[in-house]
Amino acid sequence: MIREYTDTDLSPRNSFHVAQRAARLVEFETADDLRTLFAAGVPERWTVLAGGNNILFTRDYDGVLLTPVATGIEILSDDGRTALVRVEAGVEWDDLVQWAVERGLWGIENLTAIPGKAGAAPVQNIGAYGCEAKDVIERVHLFRTDTLAEETLAGADCGFGYRESVFKHALRGRAVITAVEIRLSHTPAPRLGYGDVEREVAARGGATLRNIREAIASIRRAKLPDPAETGNAGSFFKNPVVDRATAERLLAEWPDMPHYPAADPARVKLAAGWLIDRAGMKGRTEGRVGVHARQALVLVNLGGATGSEVIAFARKVQQAVLDRFGIAIETEVNIL
């Protein structure tokens, strides 16, 4: 089923609530819908707008926005130890987490309350509290807009890294994710060693799936602004990954600087939030945009800000960190 909108207001479709417009927006369910659409002529400009929680529109979009709306969740196989689950791209990610928790299936409970659709999860390999989508993704189903063919990509071939995947690089602008297959486990495997999770879970009576979900939802509510009330896109910046010599130089000057091992043992991950805070930008506002007072990684729309105002302010935050530490922080949010 295809549903089309023209000259549509995007403010209810992006978590920053910037009021840009799209020339054409198409809601689709299946790869066949996409084939029908693209067979009629590949639009000059198109992209996927799923839940709009990681996109900042800085101008009206003059091409076609594709929005997945299929919401099926199906158990493909279950041998009593693990279950393979197919999730259509339009499923709300947190509904999937709830679904898994209700069925006693482990693997995505730490990814509770990440806003967005399941089809977007592989794109930046969503992650939180020591877990990433890549830990459970077994296969990704795609529609290739260059060949009009359906393809399946194994998780191992998705180029997953920290907030990275092949969908942001080689397959950018060439593929639409239509469904994701994830492997969940019946065996309890709580992962509590991150932030306050262990304490919050203990306060709820121990490491059950429900307690972990509730604990993480509550920690996130306390730390992050709710996009329904204050426009934002979660972390606006990625944590920078630097070489050891750079980390050591900074640590010599700021011994309390948080730092973590990176996937590459020759590199070190730093906390962009800490760098922004120490560069004096936490809680700073300018006009209708600001750095959130409790979480320096998050930029907020204080009401009526345009995408260009947000990006102009983001550049100032980046410059402040560069001036103070000599570190360039990159944006995590997709800028359109």
Ligand X SMILES: Cc1cc2nc3c(=O)[nH]c(=O)nc-3n(C[C@H](O)[C@H](O)[C@H](O)COP(=O)(O)OP(=O)(O)OC[C@H]3O[C@@H](n4cnc5c(N)ncnc54)[C@H](O)[C@@H]3O)c2cc1C
Q: Does 155 bind ligand X (CB under 6 A)?
A: no
Structure-block tokens of residue 299: 């930029």
Q: Which residue is nearest to ligand X (CB)?
A: 116
Closest approach of ligand X to the CB of residue 12, in Å: 13
Angle CA 230–197–224, to nearest 5: 5
**218 given a catalytic annotation:** no
DSSP string, 291-321: E-SS-TTEEEE-SS--HHHHHHHHHHHHHHH
**151 given a catalytic annotation:** no
Choice from 31, 70, 123, 215 touching ligand X (CB under 6 A)? 123
- Asked if 62 and 21 count as a contact pair (C-beta separation under 8 A), the reply is no
Closest approach of ligand X to the CB of residue 156, in Å: 19
Which residue number, 101 or 120, has a Cβ lying nearer to ligand X? 120
Burial class of residue 41 (count of CB atoms within 10 Å of its CB; 0-12, 13-18, 19+): exposed
Q: Which of 29, 109, 235, 309 is catalytic?
A: 235
Q: Does 128 bind ligand X (CB under 6 A)?
A: yes
Q: What's the CA gap between 296 and 155, in Å, rounded? A: 32
Structure-block tokens of residue 175: 């593929």
Point out which span in 71-79, 111-119, 284-292, 303-311 binds ligand X (CB under 6 A): 111-119
Q: What is the largest CA-CA distance in the chain?
A: 61
Closest approach of ligand X to the CB of residue 188, in Å: 23
Choice from 107, 115, 155, 273 touching ligand X (CB under 6 A)? 115
Q: Which of 27, 15, 33 is nearest to 65 (CA)?
A: 27
Q: Does 231 bind ligand X (CB under 6 A)?
A: no
Binding to ligand X (CB under 6 A) within 257-296 occurs at: none
Q: Does 126 bind ligand X (CB under 6 A)?
A: yes
Angle CA 71–73–78, to nearest 5: 175
Point out which span in 95-103, 118-126, 154-162, 267-275 binds ligand X (CB under 6 A): 118-126
Closest approach of ligand X to the CB of residue 282, in Å: 17
Provide the mask over 233-252, with x wherever binding to ligand X is found by CB under 6 A and - wherever it is not: xx------------------
Point out which span in 191-199, 211-219, 229-237, 309-317 binds ligand X (CB under 6 A): 229-237
Which residue number, 160 or 325, has a Cβ lying nearer to ligand X? 160
Q: Which of 163, 183, 213, 278 is catalytic?
A: 163
Which residue number, 274 or 325, has a Cβ lying nearer to ligand X? 274
Q: What's the CA gap between 75 and 328, in Å, rounded? A: 44
Q: What's the CA gap between 217 and 260, in Å, rounded? A: 24
Structure-block tokens of residue 275: 């760098």
**332 given a catalytic annotation:** yes
Size of the site for ligand X (CB under 6 A): 33
Provide the mask over 35-74, with x wherever binding to ligand X is found by CB under 6 A and - wherever it is not: ------------xxxxxxxxx------------x------
Closest approach of ligand X to the CB of residue 140, in Å: 9
Enumerate the H helices of 79-224 as residue ranges.
Answer: 93-102, 197-203, 209-223
Q: What's the CA gap between 176 and 65, in Å, rounded? A: 11
Half-sphere exposure of 322 (CA within 13 A, CB side): 9
Q: Which of 252, 270, 250, 251 is nearest to 260 (CA)?
A: 270
Task: Give the residue numbers annotated as catalytic, written as ranges.
Answer: 163, 235, 332
Q: Which residues bind ligand X (CB under 6 A)?
A: 15, 47-55, 68, 89, 114-117, 119-121, 123-124, 126-128, 167, 176-177, 224, 227, 232-234, 334
